[in-house]
Amino acid sequence: MNDLKRLVRTIPDYPKPGIMFRDVTTLLGDPQGFKATIAQMTEPYRTKPIDAVAGIEARGFILGGAVADRLGCGFIPIRKKGKLPWKTIGEEYSLEYGVDVIEIHEDAIKKGERILIIDDLIATGGTAEAAVKLVTRTGGHVIGAAFIVDLPELGGAKKLKALGIDCHALMAFDGH
Ligand code: AMP
């Protein structure tokens, strides 16, 4: 875990003053680091029945595709507003630094399908909570949510656990 943590680059004051941006591109670009990240994100769900992984744009796509392959299930993209070509449903959410909308294809999930949500980082949990709502509204059942990084002081993982969602992160950083 410490080895993986060392591969995450921290960029102070990006994208705005006061934010410590945890840049996982350095971890994903490291062959052993990427392999270990995917193995560790997959591990808690190996024995659980998962029908599909839902990855949140954009870093959740890189991770989610690889995790879905390991679990032998399909991949569902959750994208920023206006990017998906078919009929969508959307949810507004607050970011650590702004407001946005994410969308899912209305027919992406069949009723009762068991879904694992994947993103690179959980901060306030606004994005992940919006993803949980989208999956639930399309008839899916959220089995868990997995991230590389948790920022526990921002309370996102706690928020998901309070919603009854099993939540895993490979590492945590203090502060914002
Ligand atoms: P939140 O909705 O507050 O949990 O924010 C999580 C989303 O915003 C994830 O998709 C992250 O990629 C991005 N994000 C928020 N804060 C940071 C940060 N400090 N460093 C890198 N990415 C962040």
- pLDDT given at position 88: 98
Domains, the chain, ordered by start = 44-172 (3.40.50.2020)
Query: For the stretch 113-136, what's the b/e string if a residue is b when 16 or more beta carbons lie within 10 angstroms of its beta carbon?
Result: bbbbbbbbbbbbbbbbbbbbbbbe
Catalytic residue among 96, 103, 113, 129: 96
Using the predicted structure, report yes or no on whether residue 82 has a pLDDT greater than 70. Answer: yes
Read off the pTM.
0.97
Tell me the per-residue pLDDT of 130-147, one tens digit each, with 9 for 90 and over.
999 999 999 999 999 999
Mean pLDDT of 126-130: 96
- Could you give the count of Cα atoms lying within 13 Å of 32 in the half-sphere of its Cβ? 6
- What is the tens place of the pLDDT at every residue in 156-172? 999 999 999 999 999 99
Is residue 100 lining ligand 1, measured as CB closer than 6 Å? Answer: no
- Residue 54: asked if its preceding bond is cis (omega within 30°), the reply is no
Structure tokens at 58: 């954009």
* C-alpha–C-alpha distance, residues 144 and 125, integer Å: 13
- Give CA–CA dist 31/114, Å, rounded: 30
Which atom of ligand 1 is nearest to 24's Cα? 21
85-123 pLDDT, tens digit each: 999 999 999 875 678 999 999 999 999 999 999 999 999
Look-up of token digits 């990084």: 149
Percent of the chain with pLDDT over 90: 92
